[in-house]
């Protein structure tokens, strides 16, 4: 992984990405007792404090372990907390080792992992796997907020979501694309990909909306490489721009290309078609960022990736969307 990514992560994450910490392979987790899994979560969650817990509410370092349960009590505010309190794993119903297993299985699927497959792997209900996978995705997506790119950056956009296979007989087909653009179901994923750096994904209504995102996320003085889509033209005023015309060639005479951006889109497309079958507009951003994360970590070991996802998950609060999601939405949203 490049220095640019390393610079963007916290001290705790740097520890977790180090070779010494890359032990969370699927087979290592499968051999763990529940107690060992809890200890692994503890090391990861409080990595920046040497694995020693501190109060998630007031930050007090003086905490005591309760003798009868795997719970600590804050010496200052008296808050009692488990290793997963205040994280996406709060109110968990299953043995703690299953959550480490879920993370290891999730990172092993290079094209993503479907909730159906995860429910089979963990032998749990579909809805449990569905919510769990979305929580992991959300924690990964949150990590991409606020980053800036510099240097040479490829920019590109592509349509996702809202698509359905056309009917078999031509007479039954309607122009769904046009209809979906009008209803706003189809969205554009805009990707910014720094050469030798990281990948950031965004979702907009149309490709030209990506201009504002580029200006916000790419440092002045950077060189942009884009295709011939006219929406990007206004960026000439702010950046050194190199263009490639895809109707003619995939690499311009001056070397300009968007091949890294294309590679990202093909990964997202394979995830959409091959794994999830349909990605709704509502959660498109989370899938888009999951694939950006996977693309950037394609050379990191599975154990290293699992470590990082565990750290992101334990550093991410439970969101309003996924707390009690099924109680509110079932069965209406079952297929998404
Ligand atoms: Zn406290």
Say how many Å lie between the CA of residue 309 and the centre of ligand 1: 26
Which pLDDT tens digit goes with each residue over 73-110? Answer: 999 999 999 999 988 888 788 889 999 999 999 988 77
Which pLDDT tens digit goes with each residue over 178-208?
A: 555 556 678 999 999 999 999 999 999 888 8
Q: In total, how many domains does the chain have?
A: 2
Q: Is 83 domain-assigned?
A: yes
313 found inside a domain: no
Domain hosting 137: range is 3-143
319 C-alpha to ligand 1 centroid (Å) = 21
319 in a domain, yes or no?
no
Pick the last residue of a domain from 143, 175, 191: 143
β-pair partners for 73:
64, 80
42 and 157 housed in the same domain: no
CA of 306 to the centre of ligand 1 (A): 29
Q: Are residues 39 and 168 in the same domain?
A: no
Residues 86 and 158 both lie in one domain: no
66 C-alpha vs ligand 1 centroid, how far in Å? 15
Residues in Cβ contact with 267 at an 8 Å cutoff, skipping those fewer than 6 apart: 110, 111, 291, 294, 295
What average pLDDT does the structure give for the chain? Answer: 83
Based on the fold, state whether residues 163 and 292 are members of the same structural domain: yes
Give the chain's end-to-end CA distance (angstroms, integer). 33
Residue 169 falls inside a structural domain: yes
CA 53 / ligand 1 centre spacing (Å): 11
Let me know whether 170 and 123 are in one domain: no
Domain-terminating residue out of 85, 119, 143: 143
**Domain stop point among 143, 172, 189:** 143
pTM for the full predicted model: 0.82
CA 131 to centroid of ligand 1, rounded, Å: 29
Q: 82 and 204: one domain?
A: no
- Report residue 8's pLDDT band, with 50, 70 and 90 as the boundaries: very low
Instruction: Give domain status of residue 334, yes or no.
Output: no
Position 307 in a domain: no
Q: How far is the CA of 140 from the centre of ligand 1 (A)?
A: 27
What spacing in Å lies between the alpha carbon of 85 and ligand 1's midpoint? 12
216 C-alpha to center of ligand 1: Å? 38
For residue 280, with 0-12 CB atoms within 10 Å meaning exposed, 13-18 middle and 19 or more buried, which class applies?
middle
Same-domain check for residues 205 and 113: no
Distance 86 CA to ligand 1 centre (A): 13
Residue among 204, 233, 198 nearest 218 (CA): 198
What pLDDT band is residue 13 in, cutting at 50, 70 and 90? low
How many angstroms does the Cα of residue 183 sit away from the middle of ligand 1? Answer: 49
What percent of the chain shows pLDDT beyond 90?
A: 42
CATH number, domain with residue 276: 3.30.420
Distance from Cα 95 to the centre of ligand 1, integer Å: 26
CA of 262 relative to ligand 1 center, distance in Å: 48
CA of 74 to the centre of ligand 1 (A): 5
CA of residue 81 to ligand 1 center, whole Å:
9
């Amino acid at each position: 992984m490049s220095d640019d990514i390393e610079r963007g992560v916290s001290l705790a994450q740097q520890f977790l990405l180090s070779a010494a910490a890359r032990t969370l392979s699927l087979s290592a987790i499968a051999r763990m007792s529940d107690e060992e899994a809890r200890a692994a979560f503890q090391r990861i969650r409080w990595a920046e404090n040497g694995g020693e817990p501190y109060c998630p509410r007031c930050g007090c370092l003086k905490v005591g372990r309760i003798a009868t349960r795997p719970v600590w009590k804050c010496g200052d505010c008296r808050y009692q907390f488990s290793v997963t309190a205040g994280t996406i794993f709060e109110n968990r119903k299953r043995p703690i080792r299953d959550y480490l297993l879920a993370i290891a299985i999730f990172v092993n699927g290079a094209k993503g992992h479907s909730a159906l497959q995860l429910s089979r792997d963990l032998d749990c209900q579909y809805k449990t796997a569905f919510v769990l996978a979305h929580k992991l995705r959300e924690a990964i997506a949150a990590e991409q907020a606020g980053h800036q790119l510099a240097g040479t950056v490829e920019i590109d956009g592509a349509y996702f979501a809202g698509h359905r296979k056309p009917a078999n007989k031509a007479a039954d087909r309607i122009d769904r694309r046009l209809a979906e653009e009008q209803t706003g179901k189809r969205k554009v994923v805009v990707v910014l990909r720094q050469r030798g750096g990281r990948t950031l994904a965004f979702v907009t209504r149309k490709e030209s909306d990506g201009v504002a995102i580029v200006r916000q996320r790419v440092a002045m003085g950077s060189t942009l490489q884009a295709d011939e889509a006219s929406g990007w033209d206004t960026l000439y005023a702010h950046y050194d721009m190199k263009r490639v015309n895809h109707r003619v060639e995939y690499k311009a005479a001056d070397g300009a290309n968007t091949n890294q951006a294309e590679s990202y889109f093909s990964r997202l497309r394979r995830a959409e078609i091959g794994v999830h079958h349909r990605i709704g507009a509502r959660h498109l951003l989370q899938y888009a960022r999951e694939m950006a994360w996977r693309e950037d970590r394609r050379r990191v070991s599975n154990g290293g990736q699992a470590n990082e996802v565990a750290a992101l998950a334990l550093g991410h609060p439970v969101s309003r969307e996924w707390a009690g999601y099924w109680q509110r939405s079932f069965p209406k949203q079952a297929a998404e």
